[in-house]
């Protein structure tokens, strides 16, 4: 379970935002106590329509928090960035994972930096940029095209020498509501890539579209999507609500384990 900590003023879900180091530490301690295995920290929003921020701003937000959180026991730290210089600086601070929304396909040096630090990578499928991705939602073969994109990213990672690779089909990143629902139904098809699947559905717009609810009222929809995702093969969930998701998944897994006996 990966708990989301946003060091941004403009991430789409307000309660995920931490404006101070003490707020980030408090949320991290909460997530760890609730069962998070990973703390996924981001300092640049990737919500639809968002724009890049300068590297120095991103590092100013990240480095003090990472300095505190890397002392946390029993939890890995992932940083959500696609910028090689940012990745190098945070990896030098002891971060174990880089969560790259461009799937290592924007900057050629990113994979080599991650490999040099023997870190892991989370590779996500996204078209274009967060600012333009929702204008690029036409697919001839949704799952097939995403699979091919992720396959290219895996090849880039492996050629660089990265051995720990997680794939993310990119729910909400350049997909319509119906496409997001289709991806959840067909999530098990990504098993052909032989990599653990990360699923990020928490409180996203497609849930709001189905239920006609704002971000703050999408918990139940997020839990339903998370459980379906686990049943379809997701190994890691990236969530805003760790305690509730851990409990929902634990119950679902108990049912699935009983069926296998």
Residue 75 near residue 122 (C-beta atoms within 8 A): no
Q: Is 17 a catalytic residue?
A: no
- CB burial readout 176-206, b (16+ within 10 A) else e: bbebbbebbeebebbeeeebbbbbbbbbbbb
Measured distance CA(218)–CA(46) in Å, rounded? 19
Distances in whole angstroms, Cα of residue 259 to Cα of each of 56, 252, 254: 52, 11, 9
Could you state, in chain order, the average pLDDT of each consecutive group of 10 residues for the chain (261 residues)?
Answer: 92 81 92 96 91 95 92 90 98 97 96 98 95 94 98 98 98 97 98 98 97 96 98 96 98 83 55
Q: Which pLDDT score is estimated for 18? A: 87
Residue 2 near residue 236 (C-beta atoms within 8 A): yes
Q: Which pLDDT score is estimated for 59? A: 97
pTM for the complete prediction? 0.94
Q: Which pLDDT score is estimated for 260? A: 62
CATH entry 1.10.10.1100 includes domain 2-260:
no
Q: Which pLDDT score is estimated for 197? A: 98
Name the active-site residue from 204, 232, 247, 261. Answer: 204
Name the active-site residue from 27, 175, 195, 238. Answer: 238
Q: Which pLDDT score is estimated for 71? A: 79
Strands in 2-6's sheet, in edge-to-edge order, are: 165-168, 120-124, 97-100, 76-80, 38-42, 2-6, 236-239, 198-199
Q: Is 127 a catalytic residue?
A: no
């Amino acid at each position: 379970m990966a708990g989301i900590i946003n060091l941004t003023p403009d991430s789409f879900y307000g309660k995920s935002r931490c404006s101070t180091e003490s707020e980030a530490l408090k949320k991290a301690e909460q997530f760890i106590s609730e069962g998070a295995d990973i703390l996924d920290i981001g300092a640049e929003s990737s919500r639809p329509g968002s724009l890049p921020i300068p590297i120095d701003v991103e590092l100013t937000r990240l480095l003090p928090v990472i300095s505190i959180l890397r002392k946390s026991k029993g939890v890995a730290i992932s940083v959500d960035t696609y910028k090689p210089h940012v990745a190098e600086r945070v990896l030098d601070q002891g971060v174990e994972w880089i969560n790259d929304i461009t799937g290592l396909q924007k900057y050629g040096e990113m994979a080599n930096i991650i490999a040099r630090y023997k870190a892991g990578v989370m590779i996500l499928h996204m078209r274009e940029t967060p600012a333009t991705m929702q204008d690029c939602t036409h697919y001839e073969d949704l799952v097939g095209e995403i699979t091919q994109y992720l396959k290219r990213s895996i090849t880039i990672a492996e050629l660089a020498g990265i051995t720990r690779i997680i794939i993310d089909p990119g729910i909400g990143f350049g997909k319509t509501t119906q496409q997001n629902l289709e991806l959840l139904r067909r999530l098990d098809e990504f098993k052909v890539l032989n990599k653990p699947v990360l699923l990020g559905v928490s409180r996203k717009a497609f849930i709001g579209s189905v239920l006609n609810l704002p971000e703050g009222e999408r918990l139940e929809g997020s839990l339903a999507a998370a459980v379906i995702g686990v049943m379809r093969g997701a190994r890691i969930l990236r969530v805003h609500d760790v305690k509730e998701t851990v409990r929902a998944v634990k119950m679902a897994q108990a049912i699935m384990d009983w069926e296998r006996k």
